[in-house]
Amino acid sequence: MTAATLTIDLDAIAANRAALDRLSGGDVQTAAVVKADGYGLSAKRVSETLAGAGVTSFFVAEASEAIAVREAVGSAPDIYVFSGHMAWLAIPRV
């Protein structure tokens, strides 16, 4: 059996974000949606790359993903959770 290898070009991810931002116009803010572990691409690395490229808003599906993204990008970006917020599980800005 042959094993497949997936190579992620983080520079291309940053360039795609920049292109989307340029095409969106000056009055539009683009955001990043990070799915679980970035589809196995490492949500940490992808989030860090996007934050470094100027993304200031991230969307995730669950609170546990928000915690992982917060740890990767620091306290400045906004993080939104699609599944809603539970009062007992705050996402701290550290």
* pLDDT at residue 93 in the model: 61
Model pTM score: 0.79
Residue among 18, 16, 36 at smallest CA distance from 82 = 36
Angstrom CA distances, 28 to 10, 25, 33, 72, stand at 23, 6, 16, 25
Are 58 and 73 spatial neighbours (Cβ–Cβ below 8 Å)? yes
Dist CA 78 CA 76 (whole Å): 7
Tell me what pLDDT residue 1 has.
Answer: 75
What does each of the 94 residues of the chain score in pLDDT, given as a tens digit? Answer: 788 877 889 999 999 999 998 898 888 888 999 987 766 778 889 999 999 999 999 999 888 889 999 999 999 999 999 886 565 555 566 5
Check if the beta carbon of residue 55 is closer than 8 Å to that of residue 77: yes
pLDDT value, residue 74: 94
